[in-house]
Structure 1
Amino acid sequence: MIENLENKGPEKPKSNYKRNFLLVVFCGLIIFAQVYIGAKFFSYAQEENRANAKKENVAKELDNVETKDPVQEVKVDSSLDGKAAASGTQKTGGSSDISVEVEDTASGDSGWDNGGIAEAAVWNEPVIVKDGQEPLVVNGDVVEYAGAKNEVNALGNVEIDYKGSKLSCQSLKVDTLTKEGLAEGNVKIADKESVIEGSKVSYNFATQSGVINDAVFHSDPYFGKALKIEKVGTGQFIALNSKITTCNFDHPHYRMGAQEVNVYPKNKIQIKGAEFYVSKFPLLYIPQYNQSLKDPMMHVQVMPGSNKDWGPYMLSAWRYNLTDNVNGNLFLDYRSKLGLAEGVDLNYKNENFGKGDYKFYFTDESPSSVPDGKQKSYERYLSRWRHQWAIDEHTNFTSEFYKIKDEERKILDPNKNILKDFFFREYEKDSQPLTYALFHHSFPSASLDLLMQKNINHWFNQLDKLPELSYTLPSYQIADSMFYFENNSTLSSLSKGPDVSPTSPEKVSFTRLDTANKFSLPVKIAIFDFTPFVGSRETIYDRGLDGTSLPARTIFTAGSGLSTKFYRNFDITTRFLGMEINDLRHVISPIIDYTYNHTPTIPESDLRQIDSVDALTSSNTASFGLANKLQTKRNGMSVDLVDFRVTSAYNFSPQVSSTYKGGGGLSDLFFKLKVLPYSWLRLESDATFNNRKNSFTDVNYDLNFDLGKERSFALGQRYQLSGGNQITESFNWRLTPKWKFSTYHRFNINGGSDSTNGLQEQQYTFTRDLHCWLMDVTFRTTKNEGSTVYFMFRLKAFPETAFGFNQSYQSPESGSQSNP
């Protein structure tokens, strides 16, 4: 109730005497409460220490217990009131090896009669029930053992630890032979995978199965309530007439009401007859719902947004799980300027045949603006299949298949690309993905590869290799001699179309055998490792440039390698500028390699050119390398504080072509630098210096600050003398427990024109924690392309989505092949 305070006059102050008296009384009450609570905590701590000590003693005694004859045994050791210790045994007459042990009894009648045979005994100490395997320890305020009934009864704060599960309740009755138990009053069953609570539980400790009434449960990430739960062993329980959610509020933001929920902790859940609710409002009915707990993807994903090329749009994905090993997404997308698009992807794995994924995406695109005289709709689709199969530890199979149809590229705009338009992150990684199948087998000292590669998308710059067989023998010691032998051989049936680089007026195809053999003799000379070598490279073609046969092309090669390593240790321990330095080592590693390749016996002008092997010429080169490292120790491990490398080469009269030999000279200098001064700061850089132009032609660096969980900053630069100078920035910061903010900027310097200069791309994302949900709001604008705004709602339990628009998105990895 809000009152009108303006009409009230000033309140009359109370006397100082009364106020001081009340203050003294209030402070006294606070002091008394603190003393009382402190005394209680101290008393509770002492009791807990005594209880823990007793449990440790029981555990130690259990470790020393040996399996005895098939008798049921009760031991009582009491020294209260000066009474002597008593012990006795009761034979069960059966074949069970059950035994019950109780030690350090408290007080009262021990129940001994009939010559020391225990008919019943009451203790307030643990009762240990042994079955010859793992003991069952019953703790409680009052524990009663009835020998004639083979029964243990416990009351008050009852706890049992058995086979990794812990049961607690207020009342328990256990049959020592069958291990059947009945627990009542605040019953709780907990293990490493789940927690189940209920009012009454019938439970078998041997099979770890039972029935729990009026139950609540938690199996990460799900919480639920059920009229009844049937626990089926250690890896499954079934909740009947239940409610389930990932929200742990008493009144969750969303939930599913289900007739039956099969929970396989840390593996999967299966829901039958699910009704989906947001707050108290039902939204839809799902006959069956399966969710893998190993899959971080949400089942229903919707992302609205708007940009220049698509207009307002809505992207959606429905996650499905056919089996434990088969799942995927169904896509239905609407773009107001392009129309509808639909697709499906499938992920699968099989213990016998490997794993893979398949994607199909189709659109009959109807652009809102089409030049006059052009057709109004264009069929575009992508079909992709990737598979990996580890046949055995030495053999594997990898394949990728890409089929693209793009009428819009063919008819309307040659710069169009369905990968670029709809799957930009994959396009950035590989704009011309290969179609191939690769079989690989490793021998103890060699490897064999069989490759089938086909260019099925005619505008891709790719070769056909049908097939290519490669044999690789790394440096291998010849018997017990000092000599080593190395071989690389490839047999290929190659072909390329006229539009594949290097271009030719017609299709080129031939069969080629290329083999390189090398003999080396590594020796140690003082502090140097010296490796001279000789070898030859033979290439055999089925026909030459004019279609006639050719002799083998031979290239003789020789050279040597020289390397060493120097280091010095410095006894330095310091925290200078906050850097953790525990001893310091400086390592210098110089390398010099010399290689001479003789002029080929057949010049390149007499060969059909299909790849770099056909364009080989003579060379005479010395390469140099110098590596510097500063190392220290952190947390007992070696860490490279600084790693700086410089490499270059000197060409002695290089063969520019078969008819022209240029003068010698030093090639470009290449620099690589890595610096790790702190655990939270990392700098990586590389650069190329052209000594002829006396300037750097390429400079790149990345500076990364990892300032804590969800707090990072990164800055990078890409400089090219003949191109642009681009700076990128990424910032991620957890502002509050509820809010997170991230940015991405790409800025171009010296782009050559106003359209390519300045801020090229900027992106801002706010993420709001909605307890069990995450909401992302992203605004991105790209120069000359327009702006995009999109929203994303994600479950915290399953945060990943099938949409790849954010700059931090990681696209799927492609296979092991690369374009020539």
Structure 2
Amino acid sequence: MSDRLLRRKTSYVAVLVTVLFCCLSLPISLHSEEPAEEIEVVADDLQYLKDEHKIIAAGNVVVVRGDLELSADRAEVNIETKQAQAEGHVVLRERGKGMLSGREASFDFETSQGSIPDGRFYHFPWYGHGDEMKQEQKKVIKAWNVYITSCDFPHPHYDLKAQEATVYTGDKIVAKNVVFRILEVPVFWWPYLVIPLNYHFGGVKSGYSDEFGAYLLTSKGVAITENVKGRLLFDWYGKRGFGFGAEADYKFERLGTGRLQLYGIMDQNAPNGRADNPFENKNRDDRNRGRVTWKHKARLDPLTTLQLQWYELSDGVFLQDFYEREHRAEVNPQSFATLTRNSSRYSLLGHVEKRTNRFQSVAEKLPEVAFTWLRRPLFGTNFYYTNEEGFLNLNETKAFGPRLRQTVQIYTDHELAYPIRLAKFYSFIPFINFREDIYTDGKAKEEEISRTVFGLGFDSSTRFYREWDYEGKKFGMEFSGIRHVVEPILQYNAIKVATVDPSKVINTGRGDNIDHQDILTFGVENRIQTKRRVGRVDVVSFNAFLDYSFGPGSDLLRTRANKFTETRVEIEVRPYDWFLIRNNSVYSFADSGFDRNNLDLVFEPGRLQLGLGHRYSSNLKTTTAEGRDTDSQLTVDVNYDLNERWDVGGYIRWEANENVLEEWEIRARRDLHDWILDVGFNVRDSDRTDLERTFNKEVFVELQLKAIPEVSLKTGHRSSFSGPRIGRMYSGVQEGPLPSSLTLTSEAPPV
């Protein structure tokens, strides 16, 4: 994409985004007359002076009007003027918006104005103390000669001393003539400082890397309205140049939530995304690069949701270069708009997907519409019917090229099932299905393809369980009752009629790769359960499934022979709250090898936290001289709490097939009460380097404010590993009770 074209596209999109942004920023309010709220007074001792219209209260006094609450030892309240005088442990709270406190206070509940001499305020996570505090109006508090800190010590480690500060509760603190002090020693001065209370404060990150050279990344949080927050980005890279950007997050009750991101840089050493290795020195040049991104989600009504995503990027490696975490989360981001409506009877999908970047290969859907009638009884009988009707206009595009293929698909899919209960304990559900597709074009440029598909099968299962009323510990494992659940499963899925060879049909994502098959699946689900603090927990879970293929088969299957084709095993063991092993694997009998095997182990007894992961995958479409192309990666992350102040840890990532240590890291963490200090050394094999350089080596240091993690000083990069963790969601917690008709019980044996 040329610089001129990029500037033109970016400017066009930026104008649209700016207009939308301004529209969203407009306040929306509805004015209506509300009945006057009365004052309520509660205390140990109450006296009412009728002539003065005054209440005298003493002992645990609480005065409430609307969302304002005043508590004190003693108070006088005029019920006509709504004015109050209070003394002794005075606390003024506004529901959900922090509080003021002091020895005495005067407050007008009618105008929401008041004053507290020598007062204090608290608005998470900030504490403040001022010689004089006045609430000038609702949600606006002024303080003079004020000290602001997030440290809860009587003599804080640090504070911000300001001549004057205005607190906009729930929004921000605006301070003037501000001095940053450490242990009461002045360190830095600002003439004007805005401290956000509900949005990104900003931060500074500096360091050096082989790819960027020395760098300084800064951000500043801004509040545009109460519903629109954002931040401005100002970056400098020694080897790349200056970058500027803006991000905005908005949240409206009716319009929904979303994020806008704009960023641009005149990259002095930009990689060429079309080269085999974009990051080689010979493939670099000076070029304008950037992004325009918009994500939006809204619930139009209780049943309808709208989701939008727009990605405009300068090249295919921009996100990998400057937004690596985002790139890893979504390697190939698409632009689309999706409208869904889900009710208890039907679901409706409207989806539009459009290529917005020429370097991407995208199957455009202009549009896709699908209506699904959910499984329901048919005419009051025991027959259950479901169907789906759809329309899809597909354009296949290739990176940097024109459209490859185009087709319009219209389809209808029906299924009829008849659930049967056998001998009270067994569920047997036979079904038949029928599908009809019409394609305006096929892969061989046929004018029209009409396909008919007919299939049948059944699902059968049962469930048995046995319970033991046991309370106590065995080998350190806590049990509060024990239950063993066994679910045998037998499934048969067949396609008897498929009138068109799938190789002739353009893949649209709706009914692709359909051909003759007869597959019988044997399965069993085993669980040993107990109750713990979080609820029902699967101490042991073992699920196994085995597929057997027979009949004429098709080229889509791995083999046409009558034989077992694949087995899938899922195992999870959680004997203790601090120990977990999880493994899932897929083994192919047809290829005599594992297609996939994933292992996670979490071991967190006391001060030690150990996470181990292994990922194995086999690519059937790629073979080498030694056999199938496989990936085998091992990761280990360990951390140890030396004491209340210090943690140490490390991380390794090892590629087993090539015997390459791709990344390793050592680190230490120091708790500074108000701050967290992380230091370490990271070495990793990066694909963002020239062929002559193999590893990036960086020292990283990060100082992070506990109260607001976004406030930090950083230098260097650390590992982005996110290993398995023991969370509060346990297998078995969300499981419903067993149906009574499928319950078999027996006397509990001695334990």
TM range (shorter): 0.7 to 0.9
Q: Are 1:738 and 2:738 matched, yes or no? A: no
Q: Are 1:482 and 2:382 matched, yes or no? A: yes
Question: What is residue 482 of structure 2 aligned with on the other side?
Answer: 584
| Conserved 8 A contact 1:498-1:508 | no
Q: Are 1:292 and 2:292 matched, yes or no? A: no
| Conserved 8 A contact 2:296-2:307 | yes
Distance 1:760 1:567, change over 3 A: same
Question: What is residue 161 of structure 1 aligned with on the other side?
Answer: 62
* C-alpha deviation, 1:374, in angstroms: 6.7
What aligned pairs does 1:654-673 form with structure 2 within 5 A after superposition?
655-657=553-555, 662-673=560-571
Q: Are 1:277 and 2:180 matched, yes or no? A: yes
What aligned pairs does 1:32-43 form with structure 2 within 5 A after superposition?
none
Q: Are 1:336 and 2:238 matched, yes or no? A: yes
Question: Among residues 414, 428, 445, which one is paired with 1:517 in the alignment?
Answer: 414
What aligned pairs does 1:607-646 form with structure 2 within 5 A after superposition?
607-608=505-506, 613-635=511-533, 637-646=535-544
Question: Unmatched 5+ residue regions in structure 1?
Answer: 1-130, 410-416, 812-820
What aligned pairs does 1:184-203 form with structure 2 within 5 A after superposition?
187-189=89-91, 191=93, 194-198=98-102, 200-203=104-107
Distance 1:640 1:488, change over 3 A: same
Question: Among residues 791, 804, 814, which one is paired with 2:701 in the alignment?
Answer: 791
Other structure's SS at 1:337 match? coil
Q: Are 1:774 and 2:698 matched, yes or no? A: no
Give the aligned residue type for 1:380.
R
Question: What is residue 253 of structure 1 aligned with on the other side?
Answer: 158
Other structure's SS at 1:352 match? coil
Distance 1:627 1:444, change over 3 A: closer
Q: Residues 164-190 of structure 1, C-alpha deviation per residue, up to 9 Å, x if partnerless?
A: 856446x86665775644445x65325
* C-alpha deviation, 1:436, in angstroms: 0.5
* C-alpha deviation, 1:778, in angstroms: 3.6
| Conserved 8 A contact 2:90-2:104 | no
Question: What is residue 55 of structure 1 aligned with on the other side?
Answer: none
Name the stretch that deviates more: 232-241 or 589-598.
232-241
What aligned pairs does 1:526-537 form with structure 2 within 5 A after superposition?
526=423, 527-537=425-435
| Conserved 8 A contact 1:290-1:321 | no
Distance 1:304 1:704, change over 3 A: same
Distance 1:514 1:553 in 2: 9
| Conserved 8 A contact 1:242-1:261 | no
Question: What is residue 226 of structure 2 aligned with on the other side?
Answer: 324
Distance 1:593 1:187, change over 3 A: closer
Distance 1:199 1:667, change over 3 A: same
Distance 2:528 2:589 in 1: 28
Give the aligned residue type for 2:293.
R
Distance 1:368 1:405 in 2: 11
* C-alpha deviation, 1:781, in angstroms: 0.9
Question: What is residue 573 of structure 1 aligned with on the other side?
Answer: 471
Distance 1:519 1:283, change over 3 A: same
Name the stretch that deviates more: 667-676 or 653-662.
653-662
Distance 1:555 1:549 in 2: 20
* C-alpha deviation, 1:602, in angstroms: 2.6
Question: What is residue 541 of structure 1 aligned with on the other side?
Answer: 439
Distance 1:453 1:176, change over 3 A: closer
Question: Among residues 261, 264, 274, which one is paired with 1:362 in the alignment?
Answer: 264
Question: What is residue 117 of structure 2 aligned with on the other side?
Answer: 213
Distance 1:349 1:679, change over 3 A: same
Question: What is residue 562 of structure 1 aligned with on the other side?
Answer: 460
* C-alpha deviation, 1:716, in angstroms: 1.5
| Conserved 8 A contact 1:585-1:632 | yes
Distance 1:333 1:790, change over 3 A: farther
Percent identity over the alignment? 24
Distance 1:145 1:541 in 2: 85
Question: Among residues 570, 575, 584, which one is paired with 1:686 in the alignment?
Answer: 584
Question: Among residues 324, 329, 345, which one is paired with 1:429 in the alignment?
Answer: 329
Q: Could you say which structure has the higher helix fraction? A: 1
* C-alpha deviation, 1:247, in angstroms: 3.2
Distance 2:558 2:75 in 1: 97
Question: What is residue 743 of structure 2 aligned with on the other side?
Answer: none
| Conserved 8 A contact 2:548-2:566 | no
Distance 1:134 1:172, change over 3 A: closer
Distance 1:456 1:188, change over 3 A: same
Question: What is residue 391 of structure 1 aligned with on the other side?
Answer: 300
Q: Are 1:698 and 2:605 matched, yes or no? A: no
Other structure's SS at 1:323 match? coil
* C-alpha deviation, 1:441, in angstroms: 1.5
Give the aligned residue type for 1:555.
V
Question: Unmatched 5+ residue regions in structure 2?
Answer: 1-36, 272-278, 619-628, 686-693, 724-751
Question: What is residue 228 of structure 1 aligned with on the other side?
Answer: 132
Distance 1:178 1:373, change over 3 A: closer
Question: Among residues 484, 492, 498, which one is paired with 1:600 in the alignment?
Answer: 498
Question: What is residue 114 of structure 1 aligned with on the other side?
Answer: none
Q: Residues 250-271 of structure 1, C-alpha deviation per residue, up to 9 Å, x if partnerless?
A: 465230515341242xx23331
Q: Residues 310-340 of structure 1, C-alpha deviation per residue, up to 9 Å, x if partnerless?
A: 2222222111111121112222222222222
Distance 1:551 1:147, change over 3 A: closer
How many residues are matched?
A: 651
* C-alpha deviation, 1:352, in angstroms: 2.1
| Conserved 8 A contact 2:205-2:216 | yes
Question: What is residue 661 of structure 2 aligned with on the other side?
Answer: 759
Q: Residues 464-490 of structure 1, C-alpha deviation per residue, up to 9 Å, x if partnerless?
A: 100011111221211211111111222
* C-alpha deviation, 1:610, in angstroms: 5.5
Distance 2:231 2:707 in 1: 18
Name the stretch that deviates more: 303-312 or 281-290.
281-290
| Conserved 8 A contact 2:294-2:311 | yes
* C-alpha deviation, 1:223, in angstroms: 1.8
| Conserved 8 A contact 1:290-1:320 | no
| Conserved 8 A contact 2:580-2:602 | yes
* C-alpha deviation, 1:697, in angstroms: 4.4
Question: What is residue 371 of structure 2 aligned with on the other side?
Answer: 471
Other structure's SS at 2:345 match? coil
TM-score by length of 2: 0.78
Q: Which has the higher contact order (CA 8 A, sep 6+)?
A: 2
Backbone CA RMSD of aligned residues: 3.6
Question: Among residues 136, 139, 160, which one is paired with 2:42 in the alignment?
Answer: 136
Distance 1:653 1:132, change over 3 A: closer
* C-alpha deviation, 1:432, in angstroms: 0.6
Distance 1:606 1:263, change over 3 A: closer
| Conserved 8 A contact 1:337-1:368 | no
* C-alpha deviation, 1:496, in angstroms: 0.8
Q: Residues 570-590 of structure 1, C-alpha deviation per residue, up to 9 Å, x if partnerless?
A: 333341111011222111111
Distance 2:284 2:475 in 1: 68
Distance 1:571 1:283, change over 3 A: closer
Distance 1:679 1:659, change over 3 A: closer
* C-alpha deviation, 1:350, in angstroms: 1.7
Distance 1:759 1:676, change over 3 A: same
Distance 1:732 1:575 in 2: 28
Distance 1:374 1:486, change over 3 A: closer
* C-alpha deviation, 1:238, in angstroms: 3.4
Distance 2:344 2:469 in 1: 44
Distance 1:569 1:353, change over 3 A: same
For the pair shown, the structure with the greater C-alpha radius of gyration is 1
| Conserved 8 A contact 1:305-1:314 | yes
